[in-house]
Structure formats: structure tokens, C-alpha cells
Amino acid sequence: MTTTASTPSSSKDAKTESFGPVGKVLNELDDRLGIAKGGRSLMDKIFPDHWSFMLGEIALYSFVILLATGVFLTLFYVPSQTLVVYHGSYAPLRGQHVTQAFASSVDLSFEVRCGMLMRQMHHWACDIFVGAIVIHMARVFFTGAFRKPRELNYTIGVILLILAIGNGFVGYSLPDDLVSGTGIRIAFSITESVPLVGSYLAFFLFGGNFPGTDIIPRFFIIHVLIIPLIILGLVSAHLFLLVRQKHTQFPGKGRTEKNVVGAPMIPVFAAKATGFLFIVMGVTALLGALAQINPIWLFGPYDASRISYAVQPDWYMGWLDGALRIWPAWQLQAFGHNIPLEVFLPAAVLPGIVFGICLAWPGIERAVTKDNASHNLLDFPRNRPRRTAAGAVMLSFLMMLFIASSTDVLANYFKISLNVMLWAMRFLVILIPILAYPITLRICKELQQVPEGGKRKRANVVMRSAEGAYTTVPAEQRPGDGHHELPAEPVPTFIDLDEDDGVDPTDEGVRRVDR
Amino acid sequence: MSSTHDEQRTPVAITTATADDPHMQPLARNPERTERIIALMMLLGLVGFIGFGVAYWYNADAWVYGATIGTGAVLLGAGITAWGKYLMPKGPFVEERHDLAGTSEEREAFDAAVVQRGGGILGRRKLLLGTAGAGLGVFGVVSLFPLIRSLGPLPGKTLTETDWKKGSYLVDQTGRPIKTSDIAVGGVVTVFPKGYQDTENGQAVDQTILIRLTTTDFTTRKGRENWSPAGYVAYSKLCTHLGCPVGLYEQQLQLLVCPCHQSMFNVADGGYPTFGPAPRPLPQLPLYVDGRGYLRARAGFDQPVGPGYWERS
């Protein structure tokens, strides 16, 4: 790249010496790797500041927690459907024939120190992971962050969501308990429902007819190696593109399509991000410690001829379960063949359409708006009413399906007949999304009329004078309020803590404080 | 990234800011107090971590581990975050966003190289291009074979057949044969053909639910006379929707309910669905009572059990 590093000028030497042994090491590294130039600009990389930009961070940190706790769990879990007699410390199960997968899952919960915490943290982190991805994706959608030049990164994000949901399902199937075993049975039947090749696909996936003895070992390698590896690669690509294309930002003072305004990576963003990683870890640990999740010892081992009441999957599978519940009993039976539309449409075609629309959205929007420009400034959702309304349609549709996955529980709770509940959901799943569009459109248009809409309002202080007259003055700025007041400047190389450069300490924005 | 390209646009400048620069100010109004609060949070976080170490050493209750390390991590994390937010230079700072797209010359050169090397050098050997393409395509297809076909056997007749045969004894899960005197009216038991444990998936495929509706011979549908001796009816326990065990029996309404997706089947009416997504009735097992009073199958199921699939006729 450059030869100046190996033939330093005298002034450069002087500077180097003033940075001591660390500077010396950095220079040696630069001689070999050429890190000075890129390293400096990486440290100065600007991260815009907005609460909604941390949603993706939650997903990333949950993934870190999943990797860490997951590696711990693999040290004890045995992916085998061989039957053994349980002899562990959980008395109600003692003497029962259970698979090694189930026995080892119970054992790592009760016999291994911290095992219960790790297992519960792993499960909680997964639920948080998928949830954070969904909310992050909603933010990206409603603010138009998916537009050119970021369509590719958006696509990667949607694929990551699909992989996360898939790996979540495969993962909670591994303990081979009564509830997850029923989930595997349903997965077999859904695979079977594919026209023409369904039974072949199911037999190849399961190594024979259900249940067989291959599915747990296969799910294990899918869960711990294949999908995590793909996720890891795509997350890396996601972050690389984020750095390469730079972050989007909301419009505001001094913010243009041509710049990024915010805090530098080192040290400000790094501090906030590191702290936030610990917060996410801490909250997950507290959940894992205090909120029971998936108590497999209460469900018992899987037995193909038994079932538990109110069987429900993890939350991110709820919309598919709801679709299966409320779909009418349509099947095609003709010419000696059967197409189980009552399964294939809700469980295979419907998710295909939902994720297909997600993937196609940047193209759909470009075709409608004819907008082929690059966008680095985000939209406020109210300023794009039609997109926002379309998003509301999709979200309300999925939410209705999600609610439909608990028809039995709701019917019981509201003391109404299951039939009424089912028919209500069949209508609501169509009706609510149709209503969501005009209502959202209207709300957006009304919000556009509000001046200073969406900005934090400064409080007013009401003063009473000695004569009894009332006056109102704006309150003093709170931390964060004045953030946009100063014009943004490039990050300086040095911060000279001693030298007095003659700035008047009483100038606006200057507070001389003890350090 | 090309270094010369960057140097043209951003010459390396060593810029100096002083401590009085407005951008260098912390956001906190009272930095000293903020620093003390943050230090206290981090210290409490440290106490939480030590608590975890102690709890681990003494093998405490499971919840203590997460409570200590979780509290510690939240406090330490909140402290570090607050340090970054309130005590580090508040900025705002700015960074220019360079065009990702190259200049028109760069693009032209790149396009020309791709088109010329692709179309010119490769494209003129049409024969080689075609054979290489065909080879790669076939390679792609055949290399998938072991990934798919090696994974499992072909379905064959396994989906259409069960272990129920003419004369099969009805046994419960422990293998004990069922007599007509064993179950009271309204009683339900899951039964299997005798010897079901010897087949690999017998328990999953053969599971049948035996219900006693009354004490006299019963007919659930036309053409099923003599199928239900002494009030006993038997249906495949596999839901015709997705194969869950149809495990809930509502005695008053004589309905079998699948807990997975709430399909309901009328056991007095040939197992036909009355509600929910299941499209087909539960296959009924014809029964008879042998000379010693044991319940036995008159024949196997007359149709495949469980959910639908392409080859199901």
C-alpha cells in the first residue's frame, strides 16, 4: 500500500515515542498488516443515535447468548432415540423407559450445576432472538430502510428470520418430550402433504416412517451445525454490508443523504454496545433463573400414542398453528390421488406467500413508486401512509392467525363454544386486515397535520410573580434534548486535555467541568 | 478498497480538539455525581458476580445462579452504557458518506472487462461453453442424489398398512388382551394389535382407541353392521388432519377431540368429522368377540390411517 510506514520521517518518530509501548506495538502491526489507515477510519465510524437502532443489536446479542449456552448444552445432551430407564433425581420419572435424548435433557437440567440456567437461558434467548428480528424487521420496513441501496441486506435479514424460526422449531424438538414429539409428528404430516413427492420427502427426512429412530440425531446436526453455520455467515454478511453501506439516519438538523451524524465507534458506541450486550445477557439470565420455560419433566417423555391437552408450539410458530386450526377441511381426492389442501395450503403455501411478499417488497415498492434513487435518510412512517398501511395489514393478519392458535384456550376463558370461536377467527382473520388498511391510512394522514409531530416536547414551567401574574417559560433542557443543537463536526484525532485554546467557557454549549 | 482512491478524497489530517470544545462535553449536567452513580452500579454488578461465584462454590439452588449473575450483568451493562451516553463526548460528530458507485470511467472499464472477457474470450468457444455447462449441470443434479435418496427408504406400502390383521387380539399398552367384560360403558382405552411392540413404528401406526358406547351390539354406519359387538367401537387414534393422537373423549356428546387443532369426530356415527380442519373420518376397526370373550379384529383397517398424502386413494 504505502512505503512511508517503513521509512518514517523524524516528526513521525517523535509522535510515536509520545505514545509509548502501545504506539510501538501498533506501528509494528502496521508495518506488517497496514492497519493504521483502516483502523483509524473504523474507530471514527459514526453510528447515528436512535432507540430503534438497538433492536437489531438485541437480535445479535441474543445470538451470541445462544451460541455460548448452546455449546454448553451440547456437552451433556445425547442425540439418541435409544430407550433407557431413567434413574435420575426427578422422582416421578424414575423407572420409566425414556429416550436418551429425553433422559440427558432432564439430567442436564437437574444433575449438572448451572445446567438448568443454561437450558432456560438458551430457550429464552431463542424466543427473544426471533422476537427481536421481527421487531427489527418492522422498524426497517416502516422507516423505508430497505430501499436502495440496502435491498440485499434486507433480503439477508428476511432469510435470517426464516432460518431463526426453523432452527427454533428444530431446537425445541430435541428434548423429545411429549409436547415437542407431537410437534415432530405434525412436521412429518406437513412434509407428507406436499403433492406428488410428499411421502418421499417425509421418508427421506425421517429415515423411514414416523417416528423411526433417525429424526432426533438428524435434527441435532441441523440444529447445532448446519443452520447455525448459515446464520453465522449471513450475520457476518449483514454486518459487513452495514459497515460498507453505512447506517441510515432519521432526517434532522445537519443530516443529509451525504453524511452520517452521531457518535463514533470508539469509544462512545463501543461503550454503549458493550453495556447493552451485558444488559441483554443479564435480562436473559434473570428470565432463565426466575421464569420457568419448557418444563420437559412435567410433560414427560414422548409416547406416540399419548398427548397432552392445550399443546402449543413456541410463540413464533403460533401463526402457522393458528392457520392450521382455522383452515377449512378442504381436500382434493380424485383419480386415486389425494392432495391434503387442509394441510398443504396453511402450512406450506401460506408461509411461502408471507415470506415471498416480504422478500419481494422492495421490488414491489419500486415498481409502484418508480423511485430508483438511493436513500440514506429514513422515512417517518406517517409520511408514507400507503406503505405503513400495507405493513399494518400484514401484521394484523399474522396477529389474527397467532390469536387463532389459542382458540381452545380462548373459548375456555371467555366461556363460549369452540365452534363460535373458530368461526369468529375465520372471519376476523380476513376482516381485521381489511379494516387495518383504511384506519392506518387515516391515522397517518392525521399525524401529518400535527406540527412537530413525533418530537419530544420540552416541558413548560409556570411561574407566579410576586404580584400574582402567571408566566410560562420553557423548562431547562434535559440531557439528550440539546443533542441536535450543535452543528456536527468530524471526530478529532487528539483531545488535548491540558491546553487552553482560548475558548470562552461561558460560550453556548461549553461547560468547564472537573475531570 | 483502493488506497489511492481514498487519499484523493480524504487527505489524512491530524485534528486536535481541546477539552473545552463543545463537542467534547459530556451530556451529564453534573458529571461528578453521574460518575459516582455509575461507579456504584458497576460495584453492585461486581457484587452480583462474586455472589454467583459463591453460589456456585456452595452448589446453591438453581435460580440463585441466574439471579446473581443476571443482576450483576444488568448493573454492569447499565453502568457501561451510561458511561458512554452521559460521560463521553456528546458530539454530534459527522462522517461523510462517499458514493459507493464508482466513477463513470471505473464503471466503463469494469463493464468492458466483464463483457469482453465473458462474451469475447469465453463466448467464442461455443462448443466448450456448452459442454462445460452441461457437465456442471449434470454434476449439480447427481451430486444431490446421495443427499436425498440415501437418507431413507421409499415409502412403499408402509403408509397404507398397519399391523392389524384378521383375528388380531386387542391388547392395551402393556400387552394385556382386552375382554368384553373389562370396560364399563363410557370407558376408553388405547389398544394395539397383539405383538405391536415387535414392529419398529407399531406403537405410532397401530394405535387405536377403543370406546364402549353401550352394552348391546351397535351399528355406527350403514354397511358396518357387526363391527361393534357389545357396544364396543374402535377407531384409529391418528387424527386424519395431522396425525396427532385423538386423545380427548367427550362422553356426553360422544365426540373424540384432537387436542392439536380441535378436530372433532362423532364416534357414534362412523368417526365422521363434525368440526374442525380434519377432512376425513377416523378409520373404523371392525371387531368381534371370540369364544373366550376376547375382543379381536374382524379385519384390518379398510383405508390408510392418519393424514393425507399424494398416493392415498
Helix H, strand E, coil C: the string for A144-190 is CCCCCCCHHHHHHHHHHHHHHHHHHHHHHHCCCEHHHHHHHHHHHHH
Express as a percent the part of chain A with pLDDT over 90.
73
Residue B66 pLDDT exceeds 70:
yes
A298 within a domain of the structure (yes/no): yes
Quote the mean pLDDT of chain A.
89
Give the pLDDT confidence score for residue B23 in this predicted structure.
84
Given A204, A260, A278, which is nearest B77 (Cβ)?
A: A278
Q: Could you give the percent of chain A with pLDDT greater than 70?
A: 90
Residues A162, A16 share a domain: no
Show me where the domains of chain B are located: 3-87, 105-151, 170-297
CA distance B281 to B266: 9
Last residue of a domain, one of A335, A363, A391: A363
Q: How far apart are CA B313 and CA B308, in angstroms?
A: 9
Does a structural domain hold residue A459? no
Asked if omega into A175 is within 30° of 0 (cis), the reply is no
C-alpha torsion sign, points A251, A254, A260, A262: negative
**Chain A CB contacts of B15 below 8 Å:** 490, 492-494
Task: State the Cα–Cα distance between residues A25 and A35, nearest whole angstrom.
Answer: 12
Q: Which three three-digit cell numbers place residue B190?
A: 388405547
Please tell me the distance from the alpha carbon of residue A438 to that of residue A446, in angstroms, as a whole number. Answer: 12
Q: Determine the Cα–Cα distance for residues A512 and B21; give it in Å rounded to an integer.
A: 10
pLDDT of A512 > 50? The answer is: no
Residue spans of alpha helices (H) in A246-349:
270-290, 296-299, 318-326, 341-344
Q: What residues are paired with B256 via a beta bridge? A: B249, B265
The C-alpha cell at A124 is 429464552
Residue A385 carries which side chain, given as an amino acid letter?
A: P
Which of these three, A311, A336, A363, is where a domain ends? A363
Q: Which residue has the cell 484525532?
A: A493
**Chain A contact for B56 (CB, 8 A cutoff):** yes
Write down the pLDDT at residue A479. 55
Query: In the listed set A363, A394, A412, which residue is the last one of a domain according to the structure?
Result: A363
- CB contact (8 A) between residue B77 and residue A272: no
Amino acid B29: pLDDT:
81
Q: What is the per-residue pLDDT for B12?
A: 60
Class of domain B170-297: mainly beta
Contact A79, A170 (CB under 8 A): no
Q: What is the phi-psi region of residue B66: left when phi exceeds 0, alpha when psi lies from -120 to 50, beta otherwise?
A: alpha
- Residue A85 belongs to a domain: yes
Helical residues (DSSP H) of A370-453, grouped into ranges: 385-404, 407-414, 418-449
- pLDDT tens per residue, range A310-328: 678 899 999 999 999 999 9
Residue of A nearest to B35 (CA): A515
Sign of the C-alpha dihedral computed for residues A429, A182, A414 and A328 taken in this order: positive
- A&B contacts, CB < 8 Å: 375
Q: Please tell me if residue B83 touches chain A, with a CB cutoff of 8 Å.
A: yes
What pLDDT band is residue A200 in, cutting at 50, 70 and 90?
very high
Q: Residue A436 half-sphere exposure, CB side, CA atoms within 13 Å?
A: 20
β A494-496/B16-18 pair status: parallel
CATH number at residue A283: 1.20.810.10
CA distance B244 to B258: 7
Q: Distance between CA A102 and CA A297 in Å, rounded? A: 9
What the block records as the C-alpha cell of A222 is: 441441523
For residue B24, the model assigns a pLDDT of: 84
- Going by the DSSP 8-state scheme, the letter that residue A111 receives in this structure is T
Are both A33 and A61 inside the same structural domain? no
Residue A215 pLDDT more than 50? yes
Q: Which of A245, A326, A483 sits opposite B92 (nearest CB)?
A: A483
**Cβ contacts of B210 within 8 Å, gap of 6 or more:** B170, B178, B183, B188, B189, B190, B191, B232, B233, B234, B295
Query: Is some CB atom of chain A closer than 8 A to the CB atom of B29?
Result: yes
DSSP H/E element including A215? helix A215-221
**Which residue in A68, A122, A76 sits closest to A103, CA to CA?**
A76
Percent over 90 (pLDDT), chain B = 65
Mean pLDDT of B146-151: 90
User: Are B173 and A305 inside 8 Å of each other by CB?
Assistant: yes
Report the distance separating Cα B213 and Cα B231, nearest Å.
5
Beta bridge partners of B209: B190, B235
* Spatial distance between the Cα atoms of B163 and B299, rounded to a whole number of angstroms: 11
Q: What is the pLDDT of residue A116?
A: 95
Flag if B278 and A337 touch (Cβ within 8 Å).
Answer: no
pLDDT digit string (tens) for B68-99? 999 999 999 999 999 999 999 888 899 998 88
Are A33 and A117 found together in one domain?
Answer: no
Same-domain status, A24 and A65: no
Question: Do the Cβ atoms of B170 and B209 come closer than 8 Å?
Answer: no
* pLDDT value of position A6: 39
> Is A444 inside any structural domain?
no
Please count the residues of chain B: 313
Which one of B92, B100, B204 has the shortest CB-CB distance to A261?
B92
Assigned domain for A452 exists = no
Rounded CA-CA distance A92/A104 in Å is 16
Predicted confidence at residue B11, as pLDDT, reads 55
Residues A31 and A62 both lie in one domain: no
Residue A92 lies in a domain: yes
CA distance A314 to B301: 35
Q: How far is CA B70 from the centre of its chain?
A: 29
Outline where A222-266 has alpha helix (H). Answer: 227-245
Task: Report whether pLDDT(A170) > 70.
Answer: yes
Residue with the larger pLDDT of the pair B220 and A230: A230
B91, A268: Cβ pair inside 8 Å?
yes
Chain A CB contacts of B14 under 8 Å are: 493-494
Query: Biggest alpha carbon distance in chain B?
Result: 105
Residue A8 is predicted with a pLDDT of 40
If you search the block for the grid coordinates 459514526, which residue do you land on?
A46
pLDDT band for position A33 (cuts 50, 70, 90):
very high
Asked if the Cβ–Cβ distance from B309 to A209 is below 8 Å, we say no
Are A305 and A222 found together in one domain? yes
A22, A133, A157, B41 from A276: Cα distances, Å = 28, 16, 21, 14
Are residues A118 and A73 in contact, defined by beta-carbon separation less than 8 angstroms? yes
Cross-chain Cβ contact A422/B276 below 8 Å? yes
In angstroms, the CA B230 to CA B180 distance is 7
Dist. CA A248–CA A146, nearest whole Å: 10
**Among all chains, which residue has been given the C-alpha cell 509520545?**
A18
Q: Nearest residue on chain B to A486, judged by CA atoms?
A: B92
The answer to whether residues A134 and A175 belong to one domain is yes
CB distance A386 to A440 below 8 Å: no
Q: Which residues pair with A281 in a beta bridge?
A: none
What is the Cβ-side half-sphere exposure of residue A502, based on CA atoms within 13 angstroms? 0
- What does the pLDDT read at residue A497? 62
Q: In Å, how far is A464's CA from the nearest CA of chain B?
A: 26
Domain tally for chain A? 2
Preceding peptide of A211 cis, ω within 30°: yes
The one-character DSSP state at A264 is E
**Distance of alpha carbon B29 from alpha carbon A477, whole angstroms:** 10
More confident residue, A225 or A12: A225
Mean pLDDT of A145-167: 97
Beta bridge partners of A489: B93
Residue B279 contacts A, CB cutoff 8 Å? yes
B216-240 confidence digits (pLDDT tens): 888 889 889 889 999 999 999 999 9
Does A216 score more than 90 pLDDT?
yes
Name the pLDDT band for A1 (thresholds 50, 70, 90).
very low
Q: Considering chain B, what is the average pLDDT of its residues?
A: 90
Q: Report whether A238 contacts A160 (CB < 8 A).
A: yes
Q: How far is A333 from chain B (nearest CA, A)?
A: 7
Rounded Cα distance between B162 and A195, Å, is 23
Q: Which residues of A480-514 are buried (b: 16+ CB within 10 A; e: fewer)?
A: eeebeebebbbbbeeeeeeeeeeeeeeeeebeeee
Taking the Cβ of residue B60 and every Cβ of chain A, the question of whether any pair is shorter than 8 Å is answered with no
Question: Do the domain assignments include residue A190?
Answer: yes
Confidence of residue A480 (pLDDT cuts 50, 70, 90): low
B97-106, pLDDT tens digit by residue? 888 888 999 9
A36 lies in which domain range?
10-43
Quickly count: other Cβ atoms within 10 Å of residue B161's Cβ.
14
Closest CA to A307 of B174, B246, B254, B242: B246
DSSP chain B: --HHHHHHHS-----EEETT-GGGS-S-SSHHHHHHHHHHHHHHHHHHHHHHHHHHHTT--HHHHHHHHHHHHHHHHHHHHHIIIIIS----EEEE---SS--HHHHHHHHHHHHIIIIIIITT-HHHHHHHHHHHHHHHHHTTHHHHGGGS---TTTTT--S--TTPBEE-TTSPBPBTTSS-TT-EEEEEETTGGGSTTHHHHH-EEEEE--SS-B-SSTT-TTSBGGGEEEEESB-TTT--B--EEETTTTEEE-TTT--EEEGGGTTEEEESS--SPPPBPPEEE-TTSBEEESSS-SS--SS--TT--
